[in-house]
Amino acid sequence: MGDYHNILENKVAIVTGGSRGIGKAIALKFASYGANVAINYSKSADEAKKVIAEIEKMGRKGLAVQADVASFKDAQNMVDQVVKTFGTLDILVCNAGINMDGVIWKMTEEQWDRVIAVNLKGYFNYCRAAVPIFREKGYGKIVNISSINGLRGKFGQANYTAAKGGIIAFTKTLARELGNKNINCNVVAPGLIETDMVAAMDEAAKEKSRAEITIGRIGKPEDVANVVAFLASDLARHITGQTINVDGGQLM
């Protein structure tokens, strides 16, 4: 197997939503394994700069690009900028997401449209921009971040779960379309993870979710990042079209 800590040596990766939470953990994990990493941010310029500084401290190259993942044009511009800066692209991790919760009889059109635009269309935007590069070079890794709630549904999250479930079906289709070009496409579905989104949860709802976890602890962003790094490497070269839950046994 060789040195596990060089599994992404000299690879170029994009991680959307890489300035905080799970995305930040993935970006830093990639850099620790040898990758040069580009992240996008919408408003958190300072947080993005800090992540890039940490990447560069590891001796890797980093790039932060302001881009709204819901914008087809922004996604294409970012991919173009990454290729111009680093010369190529090997790995795409679609992670950026938001939640605007509400029961279906109270959910507004804006709540539905914005969550679908960011959490589902955003994944299409980046995959659409990156796939021609992967096809041309006959190599690529796509890891899309979903959620266990995209597999089971969740009260008050019709928009979020529709997007997260859509990501799983979308990725399976990509795996079928791209397999003959040596492009692996997989999904990681986290359960309850210590992020800002979870910190903002109602305490009773959080406790209910915590009680579901067989291992008995809330996951950390690094727990997700470890699995994403594996799937983005050639250690996982024979895995495609799969959804791996990182949830401490929360969904079984």
**What is the average per-residue pLDDT within 194-202?**
82
Smallest CA-to-CA distance from 78 within 135, 40, 134 is with: 40
Question: Has residue 117 got a pLDDT over 60?
Answer: yes
The reported pTM is: 0.96
pLDDT recorded at residue 185: 99
Q: What is the pLDDT of residues 30-59, one digit of tens each?
A: 999 999 999 999 888 999 999 999 999 999
Q: What is the pLDDT of residues 51-88, one digit of tens each?
A: 999 999 999 999 999 999 999 999 999 999 999 999 99
Give the residues across from 37 on adjacent strands.
13, 62
Question: Has residue 2 got a pLDDT over 70?
Answer: no
CB 39 within 8 A of CB 19: yes
What's the angle, vertex CA 57, arms to CA 60 and CA 16, rounded to 5? 60
User: Which range among 4-13, 23-32, 119-128 shows the weakest confidence by mean pLDDT?
Assistant: 4-13
DSSP H or E stretch at residue 52? helix 45-57
Bridge-based pairing state of the strands 91-94 and 36-41: unpaired
Note the CATH number of domain 8-246: 3.40.50.720
Give the residues across from 15 on adjacent strands.
39, 93
pLDDT recorded at residue 3: 59
**203-216 burial string, b = 16+ CB within 10 Å, else e?**
eeeeeebbeebeee
Q: How far is CA 58 from CA 14, 26, 32, 61, 159, in A?
A: 17, 14, 7, 9, 38
* Active site annotation includes 160: yes
Q: What does the block give as tokens for 123?
A: 């994944």
